[in-house]
């Protein structure tokens, strides 16, 4: 069930002021096709020591060896490059609930993996490990709050509750970024695996999971 509003979120009006800057931003954020071998980012230390803010290994390219791959979000036209495994399972579920219960998404409105590089700082580095997504980044400018209608915000809060601390939302950051969702635990955290297993189980049971509007699950 989609709770689409006939009008864009209040902060959407800022897109007019963004103009060509917004379009350029989407081009910069665009996830690459998984067509070449993965190469870890070089830096001040050994590549294996380069991790994103949430503790996951960063990548310089999407790859075909099982690290970063493009996933289709079921029930939508959206595809997004993410880190395969539990992280992708959880983030695809977040996007799917957003699509069904917050507002309908189309392909190109969700950005996942971005190559590691000096331009990524703080929580943005989580894109380089394939463990973060930006949903409509030009609709919700960095540093701005209040871009969601009350019913949309209530659904986002329910998604976070359902994820039991495994996922963080940028709207709660000191400098808010309401488009940003990230895995908020390191690879070794057992809560991530349990949540991913729970989500996979919902796919086998009618009336469970994304799109059911089971608030407070």
Q: Is the pLDDT of residue 217 over 60?
A: no
Structure-token match 């930006």, residue found: 134
Residue 210 lies inside a defined structural domain of this protein: no
User: Per 3-state DSSP, what percentage of the chain is helix, strand, and coil (rounded to 5)?
Assistant: 35, 10, 55
Residue 155 lies inside a defined structural domain of this protein: yes
Average pLDDT of the residues of the chain: 79
Residue 113 lies inside a defined structural domain of this protein: yes
Residue 153 lies inside a defined structural domain of this protein: yes
> Which spans in 19-164 are helix H?
20-29, 86-97, 150-162
Average pLDDT (165-194) is 97
Residue 48 lies inside a defined structural domain of this protein: yes
Which tens digits make up the pLDDT trace of 61-102? 877 557 999 999 999 999 999 999 999 999 999 999 999 999
Average pLDDT (112-139) is 92
Q: What's the rounded Cα separation, in Å, for the pair 7 and 4?
A: 8
In this predicted structure, what is the pLDDT of residue 60? 84
Residue 79 lies inside a defined structural domain of this protein: yes
Residue 216 lies inside a defined structural domain of this protein: no
Residues 149-162: b if buried by 16+ CB within 10 A, e if exposed:
beebbebbebbbeb
Task: Please count the structural domains in the chain.
Answer: 1
Which residue segment(s) compose the domain that 159 sits in? 10-202
Residue 208 lies inside a defined structural domain of this protein: no
pTM above 0.95, yes or no: no
**132-135/110-111 β-pairing:** antiparallel
């Amino acid at each position: 069930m989609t709770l689409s509003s006939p009008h864009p979120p209040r902060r959407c009006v800022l897109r007019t002021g963004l103009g060509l800057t917004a379009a350029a931003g989407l081009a910069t954020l665009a996830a690459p096709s998984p067509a070449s071998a993965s190469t870890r980012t070089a830096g001040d230390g050994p590549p294996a020591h380069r991790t994103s803010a949430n503790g996951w290994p960063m990548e310089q390219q999407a790859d075909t060896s099982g690290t970063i791959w493009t996933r289709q979000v079921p029930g939508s036209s959206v595809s997004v490059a993410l880190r395969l495994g539990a992280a992708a399972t959880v983030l695809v579920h977040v996007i799917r609930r957003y699509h069904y219960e917050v507002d309908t998404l189309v392909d190109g409105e969700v950005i996942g993996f971005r190559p590691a590089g000096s331009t990524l700082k703080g929580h943005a580095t989580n894109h380089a490990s394939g463990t973060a997504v930006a949903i409509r980044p030009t609709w919700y400018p960095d540093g701005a709050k209040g871009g969601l209608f009350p019913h949309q915000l209530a659904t986002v809060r329910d998604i976070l509750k359902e994820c039991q601390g495994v996922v963080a939302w940028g709207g709660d950051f000191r400098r808010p970024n309401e488009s940003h969702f990230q895995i908020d635990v390191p690879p070794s955290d057992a809560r991530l695996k349990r949540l991913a297993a729970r989500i996979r189980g919902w796919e086998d049971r009618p009336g469970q999971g994304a799109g059911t509007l089971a608030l407070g699950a």
